[in-house]
Chains A and B, each alone.
Chain A
Amino acid sequence: MKSKKLFSTLVLLSVTVLCLSSCLAQKPVLIGFVASLTGSTSELGVNGRNGLLMAVEEVNAAGGVNGKAVEVVIKDDQNNPEVGLAVDRELQEAGISFIVGHMTSNMATLSVPFVNSQDMLMINPTMSATTLFGQDDHVIGVISPNSDQAAVIKESMVKDSVGKKVAVIYESQNLAYTKTVKDRIAQEIAPVGGQIIYEEAFLASNSTNYLDIAKRVLSTQSDSIVILVSSFDAAMFCQQFYKLNNQTPIYLAAWSMNNDLLLQGGAAVEGVTITSLIDLESQAPAYMAFRDNYLKKYGAEPTFAAVYTYEATMLLLNTVAETANPNPETVKQAILQKGIYPGLQNEITIDGYGDASRTIYEYVVKNGQFTKAE
Chain B
Amino acid sequence: MKRIKKLRDFILINNMLSIIIPLILVGVLATPIIYDYLRKDMDQKNTMIAATIAQRMADFMDDSFQELEQINDLLDDGTLKDETTIQRYLNGMLENSDSIEGFEILDGQGIVKNTAPQNANILGANRTGQPFFTEPKATGKPFVSSSFISQQTGQPTITIAIPHGDGVLVAYLNLEEISMLSGNHIRTFGDTVTVAITDGNGVFISHPDITKVFQREIEANYQAIHPEAKTGDQIHAFTYEGKTAMVSHADVINADWHVFVYESYDSIYGALRSFVGMMLLFTLLLVLLSRFVARLVFKDINHSFGELNRQTKEIAAGDYHPIDTDNRFDEFDQLTTNFNGMVASVKERDDALKVLAYYDPQTRLPNAAYLTEQLSQLIQNNEGKIAVICFDIHNFKRINDTYGPSFGDKILEMMGARLLALNCAHGFVARINGSNFIRVLTELEQADDALVEIERLQGVLNHAMTYHENNVYLRFHVGIAIYPDDALDVEELLQYANTAADIAKQQGRRSQHAFFESAMKQNLIRNMTLENSMRSALKNNEFFLQYQPQIDVRNKKIRGFEALIRWDHPQLGRVSPLEFIHIAETTGMIVPIGAWVLETACRQIVAINQKMATELMISVNVSPVQLSQENFPAMVAEVLKRCKLEPSLLELEITENLFINSFEEASSIFKSLKAIGIRMSLDDFGTGYSSLAYLKNLPIDTLKIDQAFTRDLLIRKSNENLMESIIMMAHILHMDVIVEGVEELEQLDCLKIYQCDHVQGYYFSRPIDESQLEALLNQLIDAQAQDLD
Contacts and interface: CB of A to CB of B under 8 A. Distances in A.
A211 B129 contact: no
Contacts of A208: 121
B129 A267 contact: yes
Contacts of B125: 236, 239, 242-243, 266, 268
A46 to B, nearest CB: 5
Given A243-B124, A263-B130, A299-B200, A206 B149 contact: no
B411 to A, nearest CB: 75
Nearest to A365: B129
Interface string B564-600: 0000000000000000000000000000000000000
Contacts of A53: 218
A339 B155 CA distance: 41
A265 B130 CA distance: 8
Contact of B121 (A240, A298, A368): A240
A74 B214 CA distance: 13
A239 B129 contact: no
A232 interface: yes
Contacts of B218: 50, 53, 297-298
A232 B152 CA distance: 11
B129 A206 contact: no
B129 A38 contact: no
Contacts of A299: 146, 200-201
A269 B122 CA distance: 14
Given A263-B130, A264-B129, A265-B129, A209 B120 contact: yes
A166 interface: no
Contacts of A269: 129
Contacts of A243: 124-125
A191 interface: no
Nearest to A206: B152
Contacts, number: 94
B216 interface: yes
20 contacts: A37-B215, A38-B215, A39-B149, A42-B149, A45-B215, A49-B215, A50-B218, A53-B218, A76-B215, A209-B120, A239-B121, A240-B121, A243-B124, A243-B125, A263-B129, A265-B129, A266-B133, A297-B223, A298-B201, A299-B200
Contact of A38 (B109, B149, B201): B149
A55 to B, nearest CB: 15
Contact of B127 (A42, A210, A266): A266
Interface residues of B, number: 31
Contacts of A236: 121, 125, 151
Contacts of A263: 129-131, 148
A20 B452 CA distance: 106
Contacts of A50: 218
A262 interface: yes
B110 interface: yes
Interface residues on A, range: 35 or more
Contacts of B216: 37, 42, 46
B154 A40 contact: yes
A311 interface: no
A299 B202 CA distance: 9
Interface string B131-175: 101000000000000101101111000000000000000000000
B757 to A, nearest CB: 105
A88 interface: no
A50 B217 CA distance: 9
B211 interface: yes
B128 A368 contact: yes
A120 to B, nearest CB: 23
A266 B126 contact: yes
A211 B120 contact: yes
A188 interface: no
Nearest to A53: B218
B129 A266 contact: yes
The secondary structure that dominates the A interface is: helix
A53 B211 CA distance: 17
A43 interface: yes
Contacts of B121: 208-211, 236, 239-240
Closest 6 CB pairs of A and B: A266-B129, A299-B201, A266-B126, A239-B125, A37-B215, A266-B128
B600 to A, nearest CB: 86
Interface in B264-302: none
Interface string B419-447: 00000000000000000000000000000
A38 B211 CA distance: 8
A30 to B, nearest CB: 14
Interface string A286-306: 000000000011111000000
A70 B5 CA distance: 60
Contacts of B130: 263-264, 266
B176 to A, nearest CB: 11
Given A236-B121, A266-B126, A38 B200 contact: no
A41 to B, nearest CB: 9
A37 B149 CA distance: 10
Interface string A133-170: 00000000000000000000000000000000000000
Interface string B97-136: 0000000000001100000000011101111111101000
A242 B133 CA distance: 18
A34 B403 CA distance: 140
B3 to A, nearest CB: 11
B215 A42 contact: yes
Nearest to A74: B215
Given A42-B215, A206-B152, A206-B154, A266 B120 contact: no
Interface in A105-124: none
Interface string A222-248: 000000000010001001101100000
Given A38-B149, A209-B120, A242 B154 contact: no
A38 B151 contact: no
Contacts of B133: 266
B364 to A, nearest CB: 63
Interface in A291-326: 296-300
Nearest to A57: B220
Contacts of B153: 206
Contacts of B223: 296-297
B215 A46 contact: yes
Contacts of B120: 209, 211
B219 to A, nearest CB: 11
B785 to A, nearest CB: 115
A42 B125 CA distance: 22
A206 B117 CA distance: 12
Nearest to B216: A46
Contacts of A46: 215-216
Nearest to B121: A210
A260 to B, nearest CB: 8
Contacts of A296: 223
Nearest to A3: B13
Contact of B126 (A40, A209, A239): A239
A39 B203 CA distance: 16
Nearest to A210: B121
Nearest to A240: B121
A243 B201 CA distance: 34
B154 A38 contact: yes
Which of B109, B129, B130, B202 has the most CB atoms of chain A within a 10 A radius of its CB? Answer: B129
Interface string A61-78: 000000000000010100
B154 A267 contact: no
Nearest to B153: A206
Interface in A241-257: 242-243
Given A210-B121, A263-B129, A263-B130, A40 B201 contact: no
Interface in A1-54: 37-40, 42-43, 45-46, 49-50, 53
A98 B218 CA distance: 23
A40 B157 CA distance: 11
Contacts of B128: 266-267, 368
B117 to A, nearest CB: 10
Given A50-B218, A267-B129, A297-B201, 15 more contacts: A40-B151, A42-B149, A74-B215, A208-B121, A209-B120, A239-B125, A262-B129, A264-B130, A266-B130, A266-B133, A267-B109, A297-B223, A298-B218, A299-B146, A300-B201
